[in-house]
Amino acid sequence: MSEKFTKLKALIAEVSDLNAAQALLDWDQQTYMPSGGAEGRGHQLATLGSLTHQKFTSPKIGALIEDLKKEFADADPDSDEARYLKVVSKDYDQATKVPAEFVAKFALLTAHAHETWAKARQEDNFSLFQPDLEEILKMRKEYISFFPPADHPYDTLLDQFEPGMKTADVKEIFGVLRERQVELLKNIASAKQVNDDFLHINYPEKQQWDFGVEVATKFGYDWNRGRQDKSVHPFTTSFGINDVRITTRFMEDFFPSALFGTMHEAGHGLYEMGINQEYSRTPLAGGASLGVHESQSRLWENLVGRSMPFWEHFYPRLQETFPSQLGNVALPDFYKGINKVEPSLIRVEADEATYNMHIMLRLELEIAMIEGSVEIKDLPTLWNTKFEEYLGITPPNDAEGVLQDIHWSFGGLGYFSTYALGNLISVQLWEKMNEDIPDIDEQIRKGEFSTLLGWLRKNVHTHGRKYEPQELVQRVTGSKITPEPYLRYLENKYSEIYGL
Residue 313 and residue 444 in contact, taking contact as beta carbons nearer than 8 Å: yes
Which among 68, 247, 178, 208 is positioned nearest to 486, based on CA atoms? 178
Query: Active-site residue 265, yes or no?
Result: yes
Beta-strand relationship, 226-230 and 243-248: parallel
Alpha helices in 146-166 (DSSP H): 153-161
Residues 458, 361: Cα–Cα separation, whole Å:
35
Sign of the dihedral through C-alpha 106, 109, 114, 118: negative
Residues 140, 305: Cα–Cα separation, whole Å:
37
Which among 299, 233, 314 is positioned nearest to 268, based on CA atoms? 299
> Which of 115, 265, 294, 468 is an active site residue?
265
Helix (H), strand (E) at residue 246: strand 243-248
The torsion angles phi and psi of 239, rounded to 5 degrees, stand at -105, 10
Give the residue numbers marked as catalytic.
265
